Chain A
Amino acid sequence: MTHIELRGVQKFFGEVQVIKDMNLVIEDNEFIVMLGPSGCGKTTTLRAVAGLETIDEGDILIDGKVVQHLKAADRDIAFVFQSFSLYPHMTVYENIAFPLRATRQSKAEVDRAVRQVADVLRIAPLLKRRPSALSGGDMQRVAIGRALVRSPKALLMDEPIGALDAKLREEMRTEIKRLHMKQGSTTIYVTHDQVEAMALADRIVIMNDGVLQQVGTPDDVYTHPANLFVAQFVGSPVMNVAEAHVAETASEARVVMPGAAEGFVFPRTLLGRLEAGGAKGDGLALGIRPEGVLVERERREGYLPVEAHIIEPLGSHDIIDLKVGTQMLRARTKAGFVPRPGEKVWVRIDPAQAHFFDAESGRSFGVRL
């Protein structure tokens, strides 16, 4: 049972504030992914929890106990580094056994623990090798093994698979997920890769510029991003964001993008919902993921005619840049749906997938139709 809590944590590097008033509660057995661009403070936060970094304000609690004054060694937490940092002068076996050697366990106990972890991670045949003779994936398995061997209260991972190539990364991602389901330990995992975050997390913690942006399940942050930053950081391809204003007709609302002759059709309820959300009419940003931009080859009721600009064939699907007024919208279509650039297509925005943000502050109005 491990429960980690951050209360009003602040951290400065000289003049620069790298963590700004961070509050977070992590439940037992939860897999938390901290996601953000590089330099957003996620790694510093992780290192602060581990005790490798001091904090300037606030409290860090592990199982209700304030730990920010405790040494890393006394927090009973394991850390997996991006660089793996296996000791080159020790064999794989010695590397995994190393944390146990700090405790007063008998040789037989150490041996049993090492072999058990090696079995779980499927690295038993490698135990006698030196780290330099391992592949990247195996190095990371060993590093995880070293972290798990003493059954720590929590497992912290700092971009553990960021240094691997794409194929291996996918493999290890599955492996880490499998391991977490099997071992089930409280885990904090730092990454800048939103796919990794979505795939692994119970809850995602999104940070930017030292500020916590949103905490939620992958589904939550994907479908209800709290602001423009989260909306554009999560999801690939990136969510379209366009200036827009809402015009009213007798039966419907129209969302018009600048320079466009006509607006996209939305239900009339949009107006009331926007007002309730605090929107003032102008300074509105429309957010729509590429799969929410519906494309047809034939003219249809409620669809606007536009031109396809650039087509990126990705095999399973295509990404098409459409010029709407002065702005571009990217749409996701079936592979080969629009044969070549310059074709005229008809497009509509799925109201159910549209997001509305305050263009100034980036805050979401929380309107979902």
Chain B
Amino acid sequence: MAAVKTPRQKVANQLAIAAVIVIAIIFLAPIYWIGSTAFKPRALATTVPPTVLFQPEVTPFVKLFTRRVQLNRPVEPGAYEAAPWWEKRIYDGGERVLRVGEDVQLSGYPDRFLNSLIIAVTSTLLAVSMGTLTAYGFSRFRVAGEQDWLFFILSTRMLPPVVVAIPMFLMYRVVGMTDTHIGLIILYTAFNLSFSVWLMKGFIDEIPKEYEEAALVDGYTRMQAFFKIVLPEAATGIAATAVFCFITAWNEYAFALMMTNRRAQTAPPFIPAQVGSGLTDWTTIAAGTFLFLLPVAIFTFLLRNHLLRGMSFGAIRK
């Protein structure tokens, strides 16, 4: 049946669409800015008003991924001609005094990116799995002092984490966990765990107890019931919790800056360090940021069905 709309409804509808478009533009503007700057020639990065039309180039990415040395004079024309295409880009038309070293070396970015992935993924897995199990326990069993425990868990989030940054740093230094992957993983897991427990408890409370009881009567152990019934039913909640935990761990800046400097450094403290000596190369920073945005976007995109799907889809009568 076609919906018949009154003129008033049509206008309201169009206004709503216009509002959505405006909001989308506001929200997407910074992302567009980063994305476009990542492909701009350096000279156009900071023009006022911003340059919208330009010939995109990959120079910022070449700079991002290579380690460069500063030359004390412009490069020889012969050497410029002989350089490969990507190295030519760094010469900025032969006027700049930078070049890729004698042997091409990767910059620190890929390593930092990998660190970010390792640390964010591992801490997310830990926080979500521990959070799910804890939430299941709180949801299904009578725990002595349940309310107090839950409040205690939540209370770990009550003060801004930066407040404890210095004591944490001192403790980490004593046990030798500064600049280690495991150090940041533990930190981020602890940080996300309270959130994960509370969120998962909400989701698991929504799953009727009868599902497990049916499985228990039908010859399954509680563990089997948990894995075969509760986990699939909680998939939506797990996906949502994982996205949040991942974003928190992925974007964390303050602790990463303080706790790591090289081996286990993540991308967030690394990218601004590319400001460089004497020149602020915004295009390289934008390139680093642009790539850094992708994993969260991909992760969220992959889980979109779980995030959007309603919790219960009507197989239980209440």
Binding site for B on A (CB under 8 A): 50-52, 71-73, 75-79, 81-89, 98-99, 102-103, 130-132, 134, 136, 139, 146, 150, 163
Contact = CB atoms under 8 A, between A and B. Distances in A.
B232 A89 contact: yes
A89 B232 CA distance: 7
Given A84-B315, A132-B314, A79 B233 contact: no
A89 B221 CA distance: 19
Contacts of B315: 84-88, 130-132, 134, 139
Nearest to B213: A52
B46 interface: no
Interface string B201-236: 000000010110111111111001000010011010
B229 to A, nearest CB: 6
Given A52-B216, A102-B218, 18 more contacts: A52-B213, A71-B221, A72-B213, A73-B220, A81-B210, A83-B316, A83-B317, A85-B208, A85-B213, A86-B315, A88-B315, A89-B232, A102-B219, A131-B315, A136-B317, A146-B218, A150-B218, A163-B317
A73 B216 contact: yes
B8 interface: no
Interface string B287-318: 00000000000000000000000001111111
Nearest to B210: A85
A76 to B, nearest CB: 8
A338 B218 CA distance: 56
A102 B312 CA distance: 25
B216 A88 contact: no
A87 B213 CA distance: 12
A50 B232 CA distance: 25
A2 B210 CA distance: 25
Contact of B219 (A73, A81, A132): A73
B317 A88 contact: no
B313 A88 contact: yes
A71 B211 contact: no
Given A83-B208, A85-B211, A50 B217 contact: yes
A318 B313 CA distance: 44
Contacts of B213: 52, 72, 79, 81, 85
B316 to A, nearest CB: 5
A132 B218 CA distance: 21
A92 B314 CA distance: 14
B229 A83 contact: no
Contacts of A71: 216, 221
Interface centre among A73, A75, A146 (most CB of B within 10 A): A73
Nearest to A82: B317
Given A52-B217, A102-B219, A103-B219, A83 B210 contact: yes
Contacts of A136: 317
B103 to A, nearest CB: 55
A295 B214 CA distance: 52
Nearest to A163: B317
Contact of B318 (A76, A83, A88): A83
A73 B318 CA distance: 25
Nearest to B215: A98
A32 to B, nearest CB: 18
B218 A78 contact: yes
B189 to A, nearest CB: 28
Contacts of B221: 71, 73
Contacts of A103: 219
A209 to B, nearest CB: 24
A79 B217 contact: yes
A88 B313 CA distance: 7
Given A87-B211, A89-B233, A98 B316 contact: no
A79 B214 contact: yes
Contacts of A89: 232-233, 235
A102 B228 CA distance: 11
Contacts of B229: 87
23 contacts: A51-B216, A71-B221, A73-B218, A73-B220, A79-B213, A79-B217, A81-B213, A83-B208, A83-B316, A84-B316, A85-B213, A85-B316, A87-B211, A87-B214, A87-B315, A88-B233, A89-B235, A98-B215, A102-B220, A132-B313, A134-B315, A139-B315, A163-B317
Given A83-B317, A86-B315, A89-B232, A73 B217 contact: yes
Contact of A72 (B217, B224, B313): B217
B32 to A, nearest CB: 39
Interface in B214-263: 214-221, 224, 229, 232-233, 235
Contacts of B208: 83, 85
A335 B314 CA distance: 43
A102 B318 CA distance: 28
Lowest 7 A-B CB distances belong to which pairs? Answer: A131-B315, A102-B219, A85-B210, A99-B218, A88-B315, A163-B317, A79-B217
A177 B129 CA distance: 46
A172 to B, nearest CB: 13
A85 B214 contact: yes
Nearest to A162: B317
A51 B217 contact: yes
A78 B218 CA distance: 6
A134 B314 CA distance: 9
A110 to B, nearest CB: 13
B309 to A, nearest CB: 11
A146 B315 CA distance: 14
Contacts of B314: 88, 131-132
B214 A81 contact: yes
Contacts of A130: 313, 315
A82 B213 CA distance: 12
Contacts of B215: 98
Contacts of A83: 208, 210, 316-318
Interface centre among B219, B232, B313 (most CB of A within 10 A): B219
